[in-house]
A and B are shown apart, each in its own frame.
Chain A
Amino acid sequence: MPKKITIEPVTRVEGHGKVTIMLDDFGNVRDSRLHIVEFRGFERFVQGRPYWEAPVLVQRLCGICPVSHHLAAAKALDVIVGAGTGHGLTAVGEKMRRLMHYGQFFQSHVLHFFHLSSPDFLFGIDGDPALRNIIGVAMNNRDLAVQGVMMRKYGQEIIRLTAGKKIHGTGAIPGGINKNLSIAERDELLSGPDPLNADKMVEWSEAALDFFKDYHKNNQSMVDNFAAYPSNHLSIVREDGAFDIYNGVLRAVDNEGNIILHDVDCQDYNKYIEEEVKSWSYMKFPYLKELGPEKGWYRVGPLARLNVCDFMPTPLAQKEFEEFKAYTSGKPNGMSLHYHWARLIEVLHCAEMIRDLLKDPDLQNDDLVVKGEKRYKGVGVIEAPRGTLFHHYEINNDDQITLANLIVSTTNNNQPMNSAVNLTAKSFMNGQAEITEPMMNAVEVAIRAYDPCLSCATHALGKMPLEMTLVNANNEIIDKKNK
């Protein structure tokens, strides 16, 4: 008998979503959908507010990576206050923002890997659900849990010292920043007592990579085949093709590695990217205009960034990048669980960048802000931990925001996550008489690889519970399981 399975809530991700899987008469997956069921509407209520409020106001979208929204909005407003579209800030302005961003990337990726995903690696997808969480990690692998907690703390401390507080700070303002880094603050981060110093963070980042690579070695077939599928990939890259998460041009590649979006100016993003609305989700579906919604969807985030860029600009991360690229013979990597691998390479890169930046005397400069001729439209694009993040604002003559358009990282990954859910559901559920907890967790593992922040994606607030409903071909609910 045909069935519909609903997973609600999806757990160990940020935000609230549910999955619906439709089975046919033979118990095979006919269709599946990842529904995002929250709505908040920041784009609307920011209208009418003075433009300089946006970086502080809009970051309230999220408590995990508010810095991304803070900086993307600030970058858009840099354009509006005449501070240029990328390199117009003073050295201390750009470097303080970068430090803040690397700190936030570091803590967010660490949170995802250690707190949300490592339980799946330690205990297995079909492990005891009572253990398969961060408490279980702490009980079974204390060192790993401590590393996760302390690495996240280090990233949070960087945010505190650059933005004023760990969550929802005010460091970035239109045209620059409101503080530099004092010598005492620098020393606290650079050479604080173990483990909270830059060298230890590099060391632990390498150890985390080794942990994943060991897991990969022992579970190669599963890791490589789990929700693997070809797709386009999009991210920003530095003008010379280097990996860059703060500033750059937009580039997309197809599954063969051919460039399909040629390093275009982020200010023109809406010439190239369109969003499609579907009735069953509050999250939109972005795609490359030229290719259309069927063929133009793309992945973003760690995997996409490493597929798109030419090289990593720090030595240890570059070495890992070369190994990563060699695994697919230089072609784009479409394996969903390799998101974790890419994410940890990024963690290492951030740790290296933090260590280098902290030694830069520009951080102690006093020329914090620049301004030029005012404009009425600005776009800020940044690589958030979960992928490319677009903030677009327009203002009127009275300095009030008249338009805000946000394309959030997770929104970009909407179709990819749906594809991953579909593949996983088919792989684990086709022909099965009963829906078991491990099957549901497998679907969540697929979603979790993308580290979605559904709150951000819908600009909404909430938990991320997963509901699974089993429905027959007549749309009658046969079975429903909540987590």
Chain B
Amino acid sequence: MNKTIKLKIDGKVIPAEEGQTIVQAAHSNGIYIPTLCNFEGAKPKGCCRMCTIKINNRYMTACTTPAADGMEVENNTAEINDIRKSIIELLFVSGNHFCPSCEKSGNCELQALAYRYEMMVPRFPYTFPQKGVDAKSPKIVKDQNRCISCKRCIKTIEDEQGRKYFAFKDRGYKLEVVIDEEMAKTMTDEIAQLAMDNCPVGSILKKEIGYNEPIGTRKYDKKPIGSEFEV
């Protein structure tokens, strides 16, 4: 067993195992730190910055920063929460997210975070980028309008031999997550469902089934995102 250390989050002393990230330590102690690109079982990258925290007056990503003995973390403060809210707003304006007709509505982490951080009208102008829908795969639709490039599908969706179904294409503002056309032909229903479930937004949709979860029974219909961690 790893050595137990102690750190403070918003003034509360919590124990953590040495080697745990701050997100892991917080969540195992009933404290919520929001994440989007971070996914259990996959190596964290800190690319979405949703888990921004402040340590010793520096902004860090809690999913990539190891917890350390004596560390003092600012998490649920007005300043940090506003930074997180601005990140959510940026994600909304940089894509085309129309929740009313999106079948991921109610199960979407981005939408749930927007509710949790009380996003009303984004402070940034909408960019309405020209994005497409790739529906050529037999099992899934990849809607680029909603993709937030979190890389969760790239990191977690692979076949038995470890071959990836998804990959990044291009760079900068042209960056897109695309499907390997040949691999897509071999995709099973189970893999398609997993890809849809692991996508935090409505960018990966399993074909021919939509809205099959009634309103009221969806993941975030009753409890806000993060409540599964909070004491």
Contact = CB atoms under 8 A, between A and B. Distances in A.
Nearest to A169: B215
Contacts of B103: 52-53, 56
A398 interface: yes
Nearest to A173: B211
A294 B141 CA distance: 46
A169 B217 CA distance: 13
A378 interface: no
A179 B210 CA distance: 13
> How many of chain A's residues touch chain B, expressed as a range?
20 to 34
A178 B211 contact: yes
Interface in B127-170: 133, 135-136, 141
A394 to B, nearest CB: 15
A49 interface: yes
A49 B210 CA distance: 12
B221 to A, nearest CB: 9
Contacts of A369: 212
A52 B210 contact: yes
B135 A170 contact: no
A171 interface: yes
Contacts, number: 55
- Interface secondary structure of A, over-half rule: loop
A179 B215 CA distance: 9
A273 B133 CA distance: 33
A170 B101 CA distance: 9
B209 A52 contact: yes
A55 B210 CA distance: 10
B211 A400 contact: no
Contacts of A57: 101
B208 A170 contact: no
B135 A50 contact: yes
A391 interface: no
Contact of B213 (A49, A178, A398): A178
A60 interface: yes
Interface residues of B, number: 18
A50 B207 contact: yes
Nearest to B207: A399
B11 interface: no
A164 interface: yes
Contacts of B101: 53, 56-57, 60
Contacts of A400: 133, 135
A399 to B, nearest CB: 6
B172 interface: no
Contacts of A48: 133
Contacts of B141: 50, 399
Contact of A399 (B100, B208, B211, B214): B208
A55 B135 CA distance: 19
Nearest to B214: A179
A98 interface: no
13 contacts: A50-B133, A50-B135, A50-B210, A52-B103, A52-B210, A53-B101, A60-B101, A163-B215, A164-B216, A168-B100, A169-B215, A170-B211, A170-B214
Interface of B: 100-101, 103, 133, 135-136, 141, 205, 207-216
Given A52-B210, A56-B101, 9 more contacts: A53-B103, A81-B208, A170-B214, A173-B210, A173-B211, A173-B212, A398-B135, A399-B135, A399-B208
